[in-house]
Amino acid sequence: MKTILRANNILLGRKAQLGISSRSVLTARRRQSTSPALSRKWSTPLAESLAKAIATTGPISVASYMRQCLTSPDGGYYTQTHADGRDPFGKSGDFITAPEISQVFGELVGLWVIAEWMAQGRKSSGVQLVELGPGRGTLMDDMLRTAQNFRPFIDSLETIYLIEASPSLREKQHKLLCGKEPLHATETGHESHTKYPSRTKIVWFEDMSFLPTAQTSKSPFIIAHEFFDALPIHIFQSVPVRIPTKPSLTTSTTSTNPPPFSTRNEWRELLVSIRPPSTNSTDPDFDLILSPSPTPHSLSLPTLSSRYMDLLQTTHSTIEICPLALSIMHTIANLIAPPSPSPSASGAALLIDYGPASTIPANTLRGIRTHALVSPLSFPGLVDVSASVDFTGLADAALAASEGVEVHGPVGQAGWLGAMGGAERVKAIEAMQAKVLKGGEKGQGLVRGAWERLVDVGPRGMGGLYQVMAIVPEGRMGMGGVVGFGGDVVG
């Protein structure tokens, strides 16, 4: 979810309108021959590459499709370089994120990190900030600007790590966060320093595998805003399958008396296949089909949790599973609370994304282009493809990975922003603008309107659709609740 246009009530039940026909998800087509795939006109160069691969090896998983669409070096949505300098964010892009809507959002995230740092004893060194998928750097910039008012925290801040796969976005982040500070390439990524007086080191990595681990003396504070929604998912559907039973010794197996069959449900994976050619240029290049037989993923991933298996007997139930998200949660939990014999746990993680608070996402694969819903199977590389986040699954993964963490939330974004003092901050900004602009009502209205977009809990709003969840050390040194999740600022 990267804009309020992605409200669930708009999306649910719209598969046919988005180019995912109900017919295609219930029956599997035979593999298309290679000649039509190689000769027809495709919407993008990446679409042609995907079609050639599918025509050669067969349909691919939704996860493989998403991964190529978003991060392929040959025209992926986030990894391609636009000649005109265009990026996905803002009014001229495809979607607007909360930090781009209002500075208050980033300020409150920064205050949450500082409040949690205070609650954990105001550690004087070894503090790290880690942001997953920093966009244009707006959120981190607002956080760092806010933190300048808390000198002890800034003095304790050792390194900022930004996990970014897009070279073009990394350049924008560097320009915003570092100003004229040079950017240096390293063996594992890139480095620079912030434009702020502290000149804190910033390190860019393409993925989390490069992050230093098992550092018991460090305190990583990890932010993931609209990061998990872009991770590749697998989609499975429960279907009834007829299984021939072993005939008894007294049962005839002649054609007039065939052996009896039993029926059981199996998970089958939805795969991306080539859509038949169409005279309508707006039709998607690809379609979803149901695998006619089990796949390695359908045999393994749904068995990871009883939450998935409990739905197996509900025929045609659909579930979405993101194994990469579960793996990342394992990493996050172990960064905060390294495995024994670590002397202590330290740091925290704040996750903000869209998805159901407790249920398993289903039928949420979607595409956004120029602030409008489009088929996720159209214009590969030019459409932002995402899916709702399974917050309960993330929480379970963190708790299973480390006995040294606890999970708070998820809570709705509107409630969390309110608990963090957002309304009071908006009033303070309005008061300052009134003095500077001598009663400029237009400027005040813009601040208020931006805030209302963030906290609107209506069906098209962001306040209820987005969820906020925190992972903190177990017990947190006996300092009580977590601010924003029922606790007060302490320390």
Q: Taking a C-beta distance cutoff of 8 angstroms, is the pair 9, 457 a contact? A: no
Q: What is the pLDDT of residues 448-459, one digit of tens each?
A: 899 999 999 988
400 with 356: CB under 8 angstroms? no
Q: What is the mean pLDDT of residues 172-189?
A: 96
Per DSSP, 83 falls in state T
The answer on 345 and 452 residing in a single domain is: yes
pLDDT of residue 79: 82
DSSP string, 99-123: HHH-HHHHHHHHHHHHHHHHHTT--
- Give yes or no: residues 117 and 213 share one domain: yes
The total number of structural domains in the chain stands at 2
Closest CA to 383 of 286, 278, 289: 286
Residue 177 inside a domain? The answer is yes
Q: Tell me, yes or no, whether 343 and 295 share the same domain.
A: no
Flag whether 87 is in a domain.
Answer: no
The yes-or-no verdict on residue 480 having pLDDT over 80 is no
Please determine, for residue 476, whether its predicted confidence score (pLDDT) is greater than 80.
no
Looking at the predicted structure, is the pLDDT value of residue 27 above 50? Answer: no
Which CATH number is 126's domain given? 3.40.50.150
Confidence tier at 20 by pLDDT (50, 70, 90) = very low
Q: What is the mean pLDDT of the chain?
A: 86
Same domain flag for 124 and 216? yes
- Domain assignment present for residue 484? The answer is no
What percentage of the chain carries pLDDT values higher than 70? Answer: 82
Q: Take residue 102 and report the two structure tokens written for it.
A: 């209002």
Region of 218 please: left (phi>0), alpha (psi -120 to 50) or beta.
Answer: beta
Among candidates 356, 365, 366, 348, which has minimal Cα distance to 412? 356
Q: How confident is the model at residue 40 (pLDDT cuts 50, 70, 90)?
A: confident
Kindly tell me if the per-residue pLDDT of 94 is higher than 50: yes
Q: What CA–CA distance (Å, rounded) separates 1 from 94?
A: 11
Residue 46 has pLDDT above 80, yes or no: yes
Q: What is the pLDDT of residue 22?
A: 40
- Residues 23, 108 share a domain: no
Does some domain include residue 346? yes
Tens of pLDDT along 266-302?
A: 999 999 999 988 777 778 999 999 999 999 999 999 9
Same domain, 473 and 397: yes
Nearest alpha carbon to residue 222 among 143, 315, 282, 313: 143
Tell me what the mean pLDDT of segment 121-133 comes to: 95
Q: Are residues 221 and 291 in the same domain?
A: no
Between 281 and 52, name the one with better pLDDT: 52
Residue 285 domain-assigned? Answer: yes
Do 38 and 113 belong together in one domain? no
Q: Is the dihedral of CA 11, 12, 17, 22 positive or negative?
A: positive
Angle between helices 103-119 and 422-436 (to 10 degrees): 130
Specify the pLDDT at position 435.
77
Q: What is the pLDDT of residue 31?
A: 42
Q: Which domain holds residue 36?
A: 4-81+234-321
Cα dist from 20 to 4, 37, 227, 361, 364, whole Å: 22, 19, 25, 17, 12
Question: How confident is the model at residue 178, as a pLDDT?
Answer: 97
pLDDT at 350 over 70: yes
Closest CA to 480 of 491, 465, 469: 491
For the stretch 202-223, pLDDT in tens is: 999 999 989 987 666 899 999 9
Q: Return the closest-CA partner of residue 400 out of 304, 468, 319, 321.
A: 304
Residue 286 near residue 275, CB atoms below 8 Å: yes
Determine how β-strand 234-244 pairs with β-strand 318-321. Answer: antiparallel
What is the separation of C-alpha 289 from the centre of its chain, rounded to a whole number of angstroms? Answer: 24
Number of H-type helices and E-type strands within the chain:
17, 17
**Could you tell me if 57 and 104 lie in one domain?**
no
Residue 371 lies in a domain: no
Q: In this structure, what token pair is assigned to residue 443?
A: 């400027």
Residue 273 and residue 184 in one domain: no
Secondary structure class of 309 (helix, strand, coil): helix
192 assigned to some structural domain: yes
**What is the predicted pLDDT for the residue at 441?**
57
The answer, yes or no, to whether residue 462 has pLDDT greater than 60, is yes
The per-residue pLDDT for 490 is: 66
129/227 same-domain check: yes
Three-state SS string across 184-248, please? EECCCCEEEECCCCCCCEEEEECCHHHCCCCCCCCEEEEEEECCHHHCCCEEEEEEEEEEECCCC
CA 108 – CA 98 distance, rounded (Å): 12
**pLDDT at 383 > cutoff 70:** yes
> Would you state the pLDDT for residue 17?
38
Structural domain contains residue 293: yes
pLDDT at position 33 over 70: no
Residues 220 and 271 in one domain: no
> What would the two tokens of residue 464 be?
């209820």
- Reply yes or no on whether the pLDDT at 5 is more than 70: no
**Confidence band, pLDDT 50/70/90 cuts, at residue 7:** very low
Q: Work out the pLDDT band at 181, boundaries 50, 70, 90.
A: very high
Place 421 in a pLDDT band, splitting at 50, 70 and 90.
Answer: very high
For the cut 50, the answer to whether the pLDDT of residue 15 exceeds it is no
Q: How many CB atoms lie within 10 A of CB 430?
A: 18
Can you tell me the distance from the alpha carbon of 423 to that of 426, in angstroms, rounded to the nearest whole number? 5
With 80 as the cut, is the pLDDT of residue 158 above it? yes
Highest mean pLDDT among 25-39, 208-222, 389-403: 389-403
DSSP assignment string, 411-434: EEHHHHHHHTTHHHHHHHHHHHHH
